[in-house]
Amino acid sequence: MGNCKISGDPSLAFIVEDRYGHRISYLRVSITDRCNERCHYCMPAEEQTWLPKAEILSYEEILRVIRAGTRLGISKVRVTGGEPLTRKNALWFMEQLGQLEGIRDLGLSTNGSLLAKPGNQGHSLTVAECLKRSGVRTVNVSLDTLDRATYEKTTGRDFLPKVLRGIEAARAAEFESIKINTVLMRHRNEHELWDLVEFAREKNLLLRFIELMPVSTTQVLTEENFLSAAEARKLVEFRYGKLEPVPEFRTNGPASYYRIPGTDQKVGFISAMTNLHFCETCNKLRLTCEGKLRPCLGSHLEFDLRSVLRDPAMTDADVERFFLEVVERKPEQHDFRNQYQPGRRMIAIGG
């Protein structure tokens, strides 16, 4: 198994560690490359094509991969896309996931537009309530702006009212946590950071500001539209005073959290581009919807697990071996700062 270490642990069945000491416990699973929105940084206008259905992993195939992962110490799964709730029977799939032994933390990333719709259980529950009943603990909702026109300009859809209803539905469903993910964009939402902080405080949501990453196409990230987390922090501090770091507060991901002075509110910053230590605590692998296992979002490395899954001669032990080989190939850090040329759209990788 080369350099990849597997060790026993009293609380986990295994800990899988790569050659740089990253302990892999988290699998982010994209179940579709389709979406009902068209965020320009994720799905540029010139690249709006979908994968044929036969190329997408079936739910059974995805469950087989996740089961193999749990046998190797994966305990957290976050389902994403595209927009995961647009895939047929997504709620059924979440229910299956909620029953898998070994998963202690199940989450979903969504644009929020479908959370308030009726779910599939006799239509008396919302989608959010069905997710909660399936065992979903955390829901991450993308929200870059509270201005309807800016929302439409950014996502290609006039969905802000639906998304706000979705957030209310998620609050009513009482998830353990609801996070709001805001991509920072100069000239687009830098003047709204305070409003987003107030909104999150009022609704008791955990707000995180995310630096724009150079995925999808080369036009996504430019000198002109990049707003760093440090600048965003200064903008927030201009109104609220010096933010207090809360290093002990972690949510199983790469955000650094700060407290707004004089309040209990924490705000996170995900600074993939400017924090040189960003990758040190990475604990993640990604499964794309067509079955590529990726050791890192910011690297072109990806490995075709689908051909293993669809080969009748391959056993679950082969799936596990494949998994470990990908862990072994995990890079020390992402390549985003090295003149990175995007190879794939974010929507096709799974954010």
- Site of interaction with ligand SF4 (CB under 6 A): 35, 37-39, 42-43, 81-83, 111, 142, 155, 347
Shortest Å distance, C-beta 277 to ligand SAM: 19
Rounded-to-integer distance, Cα 201 and Cα 340, Å: 36
Binders of ligand SAM in range 22-61 (CB under 6 A): 35, 41-42
Shortest Å distance, C-beta 349 to ligand SAM: 8
3-class secondary structure, 289: coil
Q: Which of 25, 70, 75, 110 binds ligand SAM (CB under 6 A)?
A: 110
Q: Which of 83, 129, 290, 302 binds ligand SAM (CB under 6 A)?
A: 83
Task: Encode 73-138 in three state secondary structure.
Answer: CCCEEEEECCCHHHCCCHHHHHHHHHCCCCCCEEEEEECCCCCCCECCCCCCCEHHHHHHHHCCCE
Look at residue 215 and give the partner it binds from ligand SF4, ligand SAM, none, a contact being a CB closer than 5 to 8 Å depending on partner kind: ligand SAM
Binding of ligand SAM by 346 (CB under 6 A): yes
Q: Hey, what are 296's tokens?
A: 């890192």
Rounded-to-integer distance, Cα 21 and Cα 39, Å: 35
Element (H, E) at 206: strand 206-211
Rounded-to-integer distance, Cα 83 and Cα 127, Å: 14
Look at residue 43 and give the partner it binds from ligand SAM, ligand SF4, none, a contact being a CB closer than 5 to 8 Å depending on partner kind: ligand SF4
DSSP per-residue letters across 156-177: SS--HHHHHHHHHHHHHHT-SE
The nearer residue to ligand SF4, 291 or 350, going by C-beta atoms, is: 350
Q: Which of 57, 68, 206, 220 binds ligand SAM (CB under 6 A)?
A: 220
Shortest Å distance, C-beta 345 to ligand SAM: 9
Residues in contact with ligand SAM by the rule CB under 6 A = 35, 41-42, 80-81, 83, 109-111, 142, 181, 183, 210, 212-213, 215-216, 220, 346-347, 351
